[in-house]
């Protein structure tokens, strides 16, 4: 998803393309939908295409990939950083040191988290369950 | 948490620790800071480093050991981070 979002930078470079709708897969996750909404691509600006459907377009522009493997263009990252920071204000009462727990996840949990939490708390970390 | 709540949280934070996962992509909006991901010993993915580097985060990995019994796929295994590794890292920050 991030690799796809980063491609929005390429669209922003072409003012004549900014009003076009975005073609995306159907059944976006809540997180994907929220990020697109934040970046100005609400439901009214998206065309959601189911996996088994075909779409015929009179005009189609495909944004170039801005990533290769894990590498993502720094320019695209800075673009997303600017655009998202412009739309979301920092949380005023949020902890300054956070530990992101995955205990609610199905995989890749920190198996000895209970043993480490006192140490983290001692250093001022607050446990956050970001996916909750 | 919603995407906006996650972004707001990361924007406010000065120090972020976590096992590598998709939520770390929010590092792209965090202010320049030392950030860190725990990570299994292997394979090490550079994905979040590449998100952090252009922003100037001090990003590093702590190597943890996979709990092989937790999942058939190595990349999805739970991990164990030795307490002394975390202790040494935090003491040095």
Residue B11 Cα, gap to closest chain A Cα (Å): 5
Q: What is the pLDDT of residues A79-120, one digit of tens each?
A: 889 999 999 998 888 899 999 999 989 998 999 999 999 999
Cα–Cα distances in Å, from A31 out to A1, A52, A96, A106, A131? 10, 23, 23, 18, 10
Residue tagged 């019994």 (tokens): B69
**Per-residue tens of pLDDT for chain B, all 93 residues:** 898 999 999 999 989 998 888 788 888 888 776 545 554 333 456 778 888 888 888 888 888 899 999 999 988 999 999 999 999 999 988
**b/e per residue A84-102 (b: at least 16 CB within 10 A):** bbeebebbeebbebbbbbb
- Give the other-Cβ count within 10 Å of B45's Cβ: 15
Contact B87 A95 (CB under 8 A): no
Q: According to the model, what pLDDT value does residue B93 have? A: 80
Query: Average pLDDT in the A49-73 region?
Result: 90
Q: Does B5 touch chain A (CB under 8 A)?
A: yes
Q: Is the pLDDT of residue A68 over 60?
A: yes
Residues B73, A119: Cα–Cα separation, whole Å? 30
The pLDDT tens digits of the residues spanning A1-46 come to 677 888 888 888 888 888 889 999 998 988 889 999 999 999 999 9
What single DSSP character describes residue A50? -
**Mutant choice from A28, A71, A130 vs B, greatest count of B C-beta within 10 A:** A130
Contacts across the A-B interface (CB distance below 8 Å): 148
pLDDT given at position B57: 86
pTM to 2 decimal places: 0.83
* Residues of A whose CB is below 8 A from B11: 85, 88-91
Q: Is the CA virtual torsion A96, A100, A104, A110 positive or negative?
A: negative
Contact call for residues A86 and A61 (beta carbons, < 8 A): no
3-class state of residue A98 by DSSP: strand
């Amino acid at each position: 998803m991030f690799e796809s979002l980063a491609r929005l930078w390429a669209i922003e470079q072409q003012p004549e393309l900014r009003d076009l709708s975005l073609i995306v897969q159907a059944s976006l996750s809540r997180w994907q939908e929220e990020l697109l909404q934040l970046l100005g691509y609400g439901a009214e600006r998206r065309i959601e295409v189911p996996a088994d459907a075909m779409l015929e377009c009179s005009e189609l522009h495909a944004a170039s990939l801005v990533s290769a493997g894990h590498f993502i263009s720094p320019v695209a990252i800075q673009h997303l950083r600017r655009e998202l920071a412009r739309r979301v204000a920092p949380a005023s009462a949020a902890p300054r040191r956070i530990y992101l727990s995955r205990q609610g996840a199905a995989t890749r949990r920190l198996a000895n988290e209970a043993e480490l939490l006192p140490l983290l708390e001692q250093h001022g970390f607050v446990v956050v369950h970001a996916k909750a | 948490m919603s995407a906006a709540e996650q972004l707001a949280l990361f924007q406010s934070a000065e120090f972020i620790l976590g096992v590598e996962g998709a939520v770390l992509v929010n590092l792209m909006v965090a202010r320049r800071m030392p950030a860190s991901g725990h990570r299994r010993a292997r394979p090490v993915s550079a994905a979040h480093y590449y998100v952090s580097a252009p922003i100037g985060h001090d990003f590093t990995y702590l190597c943890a050991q996979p709990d092989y019994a937790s999942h058939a796929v190595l990349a999805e295994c739970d991990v164990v981070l030795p307490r002394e590794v975390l202790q040494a890292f935090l003491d040095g920050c």
